[in-house]
Structure 1
């Protein structure tokens, strides 16, 4: 088993593959809905197994184009959309979040929960700015330090696992520096980590047992460590959801 196979075994069919809830997705959507251009594509990039995609499809009167780089995740997202009666509201594709396969200037909204880190926020914002029409919006969530405190346990873990992690001030500056106008941002509540992400994830790890393929054992150990770090230090870092707009002429 490869490390990628092991990650898919642990995370692949979870409802959410990162922190978030329907309530937080709707909170962000309600912030940008009044600003949404009347035409243009709506994209959910890095959609994973489609939790946010289904929320967008239920609450926007447009077809959603959802994509992820992992074909297995896309297929799960497709089946779940069909199961809940949203199959005709969503078009699923396999694509990178910085190259979702649409023309420049054609997107009204680009959505990306807990996935921009995979290519880097700067690269993602540059790509999205080109794809958005003037006045189009980007909404994404990103892991950040929430203040000056950097507990050694958390600092060592995230320096190894996500060396690009920055803080709220630096992220806001990055968004502005990439040519976006800020609309709003908010930190995801602790419940978005535990109730819909870490508790199901911990149950998955328990179900795997103790005898594992070496790659799976490595991923399981890393995941348990991540959960422990958040339990001990989760008040010093978190996910922030950011909504920003491409300026209109």
Structure 2
């Protein structure tokens, strides 16, 4: 190879392609290399049975940044998301627990197991949403660079002010979500094991840790941090 490039991106997964797009848009000459004969990585769509195509690994979407969708004109290129009317279904011994389809429907499901847990749902979701809004406001900001001098210190202070602006309950929830286990956080809100297990699933799916592992509470937040079709916390199938 005799060509010269400003940047080489190894791996044409969705993150690599997005990175290459922004580098190229900034005027750099970019080379993307991929060992497979298709691009897309975990988000690639493949035929898994004759006549049936599906996203092979990244089976749902919520965390794709709306700005990226707009910048890359993905909707104009055919991208669309079908929202999920039900988020999760949990079979139990002779019963089941179904989450999603709106707070009222989830609350009615919880009431079959615990009236207290049904009443606690709105407060729980509000606590997560307060912290999720904080993260959304910081998602496109460059993290302060350790050793970056006065500029980095000022950036850190500005981002820290957003945390300080939260009400004291929000600050406590933010700290708890980043350091506690999912079990500890859920125990503060709910009493029924089936209800807690339904949320604990969100804390362990795609995460190599159990619900009692310190820090696993953050993954609860991770599941409400994104959005689909302008709806906060929604998930869907691309």
TM-score above 0.5, yes or no: no
Q: Give the TM-score range, shorter chain.
A: under 0.3
Richer in helix (by share): 1
- Structure with higher Rg: it is 2
Structure of greater relative contact order (alpha carbons < 8 Å, 6+ residues apart) = 1
The alignment's TM-score, normalised by the length of structure 1, stands at 0.25
The alignment's TM-score, normalised by the length of structure 2, stands at 0.26
Richer in strand (by share): 1
